[in-house]
Structure 1
Amino acid sequence: MAVLIAGPTASGKSHLALTIADRLGGTIINADSMQVYRDLRVLTARPGAEDEARVPHRLYGHVDAAEATSVARWLGEAGAAIAAARAEGRVPIIVGGTGLYLAALTTGLSPMPEIPEAVRRRWREAQAAETPEALHGVLAARDPATAARLRPSDPQRIVRALEVVDATGRSLTDWQEERTPPVLPPGPGVARFVVAPARDLLRQRIADRFDAMMDEGAVEEAVALTARRLDPALPAMKAIGVAQLSAHAMGLVQREEAVADAVNRTRQYAKRQETWFRHRFADWHRLAPGEVPDLAVGPVGPAST
């Protein structure tokens, strides 16, 4: 048996996972791309020490902010964590808001190629010099299958497709159709849930949680991370709150302005998550915040699914 819990930020996923873990004897496995970073306990609302002592937690805070992790790396680590939980007779409970992680776990992962830096630089320069529509025309000539499913107004994905076909001579669509076997394919032994709060409730929860973060040391955490002078392009440096609270600490913006900006960005992110889950996880069972499903424990040994 395994339990998967998705949902937008601040929806109550972690509390639900903890409740289910208590009832079933579970191990909670993180599926949030920001909560993997050691430097971001407060700003990513990672489980606290009390929760971590209550039930086993895996893949939280195990990556240094100087590293850029990936879906492929997480998938390998998650597979190992799931196997370890089952070997211990525990139910793996995978929880997080990173849809790509959960999708890779349940449907497999396309083995994307490494792109040489020279190729990447060439297309980034083209992106700066050309309109998205012009780049879409180039893609249509070189990779019509991928161009047909990308909007001309989506420069990031267009450039990514151009990099792939330039570096490998193969269509991005071809690469994406090659998938590794899923670790947790849909079936009777895999319970899948999306926590889906009403929009107004979620907006308020996001604001309340950020206020709590401010009381728990969010400014100090942002300042400490910024002081490391890491590459601004690293994922950890792009975490919501890092830039806003660092600017406040330097006296560039008022506290209220920094908090309002971070809260607004978090709400926008949550909206994107909701859209993603609505389209990609349409067949997952929806739960209201605080709702706990009735789950029966099946066999969870190494051979179970």
Structure 2
Amino acid sequence: MASRRRAVLIAGPTASGKSALALALAQEHGGIIVNTDAMQVYDTLQVVTARPSAEEMTLADHRLYGTVPTATRFSTGQWLTAAADIISATSPDQLLIFVGGTGLYFDALVNGFADVPAVPPEFTAAIQQEVERLDGAQRLALLEREDPDAARMLKVADPQRLIRALAVKRATGRTLSSYQNATQTGLLRDFEIQRIVLDPNRQLLRERIARRFEAMFAEGAVEEVKALLALDLDPGLPAMKAIGVPEIADWLAGRSSREDAVRLATTATHQYAKRQGTWFRNRFGDWPRRN
């Protein structure tokens, strides 16, 4: 009987040492490192998103780093499709190392993903105008008529979830729950999987974050943000919201000082790392922890 394919999953908050561990494993076992971070896929922001350096990229095979134009929105479904392509094109005896801080990517990888079709923006805009005129009871009544399952799941008439459910129903003719309840299987169902969550001491993590952002300024973060701003992109795009981009943009525009930019970006990174840690503890509580 042939041995099962192998994969290592390395999750954890930003600045916890995930990339260094992945590189060490890849060099030891000849593995392929697959980016599992939503921001590191974008091409313009290597330093700001703490992507592996050009030198590190030469030391092992890295995939899905900086491959997506910043002018696009890269969804979980698109990442999963790209990961599936890598898996199918990889030799069965080669170790795959998925590393990053985006919990939804890991969840989709292991448990599957409800691939809901994209909804044209005109549907969402029209429904948003429609529900703005309604009170909570009227909104729920509207949803009950079109998607009773979604209405039962809403304890309150949350506008965003309600609009999403209505938009999917009107655009596709199917309810949102019909997509979410469809049988799903993860891409690694036939793999032998080693799961790791890096969970360093909180104070140590804070110190790493502070040092790293100061280093980013010296290593080209400002030039990257200048290049990004020169593209004149929609400010709502994910890459425009990457931690460090708004803070450096404000400094470049004269709305704040360099010290303010570093302080605010460092604080935002701390808060993000805390949210990541909470997510991994709640969803991946059974994954082995490492400091």
Length-normalised TM-score, structure 2: 0.89
- What residue number does 2:242 align with? 239
- What residue number does 1:202 align with? 205
Shift in Å at residue 35 of structure 1? Answer: 0.5
Shift in Å at residue 245 of structure 1? Answer: 0.3
C-alpha deviations, 1:52-90, integer Å up to 9, x for none? 111111110111111221112211211222333335x42
- What residue number does 2:77 align with? 72
- What residue number does 1:113 align with? 117
Structure 2: distance between partners of 1:137 and 1:201: 51
- What residue number does 1:53 align with? 58
Q: 1:258 aligns with which of 254, 258, 261?
A: 261
Specify the code of the residue in structure 2 equivalent to 1:76: T
- What residue number does 2:126 align with? 122
Structure 1: distance between partners of 2:14 and 2:66: 17
Shift in Å at residue 254 of structure 1? Answer: 0.8
1:6/1:195 contact within 8 Å kept: yes
Structure 2: distance between partners of 1:24 and 1:182: 24
1:111/1:180 contact within 8 Å kept: no
Shift in Å at residue 142 of structure 1? Answer: 4.2
6 and 151 in structure 1: CA distance in 2 versus 1, 3 angstrom threshold: farther
1:286 aligned onto 2:284: no
SS at 2:52 equivalent: coil
204 and 157 in structure 1: CA distance in 2 versus 1, 3 angstrom threshold: farther
Structure 1: distance between partners of 2:46 and 2:94: 25
Q: 2:35 aligns with which of 19, 30, 34?
A: 30
- What residue number does 2:90 align with? 85
- Range moving further from structure 2, 238-247 or 116-125: 116-125
Q: Could you list the runs of 5+ residues in structure 1 that have no partner in the other structure?
A: 289-305
C-alpha deviations, 1:14-60, integer Å up to 9, x for none? 11111111222211010111101110101100000111111111110
2:139/2:157 contact within 8 Å kept: no
SS at 2:78 equivalent: helix
- What residue number does 1:268 align with? 271
- Range moving further from structure 2, 241-250 or 34-43: 241-250
Structure 2: distance between partners of 1:279 and 1:50: 35
2:127/2:167 contact within 8 Å kept: yes
Structure 2: distance between partners of 1:127 and 1:48: 48
- Range moving further from structure 2, 122-131 or 47-56: 122-131
Length-normalised TM-score, structure 1: 0.85
- What residue number does 2:3 align with? none
- What residue number does 1:292 align with? none
Structure 2: distance between partners of 1:131 and 1:201: 48
SS at 1:94 equivalent: strand
Shift in Å at residue 229 of structure 1? Answer: 0.2
Matches within 5 A, 1:118-157: 118-125=122-129, 135=139, 138-139=142-143, 142-150=146-154, 152=156, 155-157=159-161
1:218 aligned onto 2:218: no
1:41 aligned onto 2:59: no
Structure 2: distance between partners of 1:68 and 1:153: 28
Q: CA RMSD in A?
A: 2.4
- What residue number does 1:303 align with? none
Shift in Å at residue 92 of structure 1? Answer: 0.6
Structure 2: distance between partners of 1:66 and 1:174: 31
Q: Could you list the runs of 5+ residues in structure 2 that have no partner in the other structure?
A: 1-5
267 and 223 in structure 1: CA distance in 2 versus 1, 3 angstrom threshold: same
Q: How many residues align?
A: 286
Structure 1: distance between partners of 2:152 and 2:98: 34
- Range moving further from structure 2, 255-264 or 48-57: 255-264
- What residue number does 1:299 align with? none
SS at 2:82 equivalent: helix
Q: 1:230 aligns with which of 218, 226, 233?
A: 233
2:114/2:182 contact within 8 Å kept: yes
Identical residues among aligned pairs (%): 48
1:111/1:179 contact within 8 Å kept: no
SS at 1:246 equivalent: helix
274 and 228 in structure 1: CA distance in 2 versus 1, 3 angstrom threshold: same
SS at 1:28 equivalent: strand
263 and 133 in structure 1: CA distance in 2 versus 1, 3 angstrom threshold: farther
Q: 1:103 aligns with which of 85, 107, 111?
A: 107
Structure 2: distance between partners of 1:204 and 1:55: 28
Specify the code of the residue in structure 2 equivalent to 1:232: P
